[in-house]
Structures are given as C-alpha cells and as structure tokens.
C-alpha cells in the first residue's frame, strides 16, 4: 500500500496510524462495550438485588453511556481539532433533545398535578 493510499483511510479513534487492524479493533471494542452495556441494562432491569427506585435512573445512565460508545467507536466523533464542527453540532442537537424531552415531561407532570379541572379532565390517565 502506497503512502497516498494510506492517506485515503480514516483515522481510527486513539490511533494516529492508519491500518486495518486498528480500525477493525475500534469497531470490535465498540461492539464489545455496547454489548456489555446492553447486557447490564437488561440485567439491571430484571434483578431484584438493586434498590428499586434507583433502577430507572441507572437505566437512563446506561443508555447515555451506550450512546456515547456508539458516537465514539462507530461514528468516530472525537474531541480532536478535526472534529470541532461535528462536536459542536452534536452538542447543539443534544441541548435541543434534552430541552424538549425533560421540559415536556417536567411541565406536563406539573400541569397534571397542579391544574384543577373537572375530575374527569384532571388526570391524563383518563384521556383517550
């Protein structure tokens, strides 16, 4: 493989040199970690060893960790200077996603709890 062809290849995370082994290794590490996270998620959800009320929070944390693994090992989003634009776009996207999700659930829960209406209107659970 010539020098020029080497420049055509992608940079695997954490490896300055471009070769097929390190590139495949990055995907394999990503797959291994993602499988681990998935396995832990399913275990955490089905075990009774852990403190019940904390399980849902733990699952969300595991999901965010797994999303991070996908971003780094599969999508090659890194903190390097050549990734600045990708990371900034991702940060903005994540901001909007969290605003929409947390904001909606927070506000709707408060509305559900605090806004007094006719009893049949009050509870979202009663709505079709």
Partner 1 sequence: MTTEAATIGLTHGGSEDTGLGHRGPESKSIVVPYGFWLFVLSDMVLFSALFASYGTLVQATDGGPTTHQLFHRDLVAVETIALLLSSFVCGLAMIAAKRANMVWTQAWLIMTGLLGAVFLGIELYEFASMIGEGAGPQRSAFLSSFFTLVGCHGAHVTAGLLWLGTMMAQIWAKGFQQHIVRRLLCFSIFWHALDIIWVGIFTIVYLIGTL
Residue ranges in contact with partner 1 by CB under 8 A: 4, 7-11, 16, 20, 23-24, 27, 30-31, 34-35, 38, 41-42, 45-46, 52, 55-56, 59-60, 62-63, 66-67, 70-71, 74-78, 80-86, 89-90, 92-93, 96-98, 100-101, 103-105, 108, 124-128
Element containing residue 67 per DSSP (H, E): helix 52-69
The distance of closest approach from Cβ of residue 126 to partner 1 in the complex, given in angstroms and rounded to an integer, is 7
DSSP 84-98: HHHHHHHHHHHHHHH
Please say whether the beta carbons of 126 and 117 come within 8 A. no
Nearer to partner 1, 52 or 119 (CB): 52
Nearer to partner 1, 115 or 128 (CB): 128
Q: State the Cα–Cα distance between residues 62 and 37, nearest whole angstrom.
A: 6
């Amino acid at each position: 493989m010539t020098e020029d062809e080497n420049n055509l290849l992608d940079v695997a995370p954490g490896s300055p040199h471009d070769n097929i082994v390190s590139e495949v290794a990055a995907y394999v590490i990503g797959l291994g970690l993602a499988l681990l996270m998935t396995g832990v998620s399913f275990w955490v959800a089905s075990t009774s060893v852990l403190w019940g009320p904390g399980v849902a929070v733990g699952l969300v944390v595991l999901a965010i960790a797994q999303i991070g693994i996908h971003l780094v090992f599969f999508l090659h989003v890194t903190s390097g200077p050549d990734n600045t634009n990708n990371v900034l776009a991702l940060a903005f996207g994540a901001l909007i996603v969290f605003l929409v999700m947390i904001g909606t659930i927070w506000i709707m829960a408060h509305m559900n709890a605090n806004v007094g209406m006719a009893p049949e209107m009050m509870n979202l659970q009663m709505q079709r």
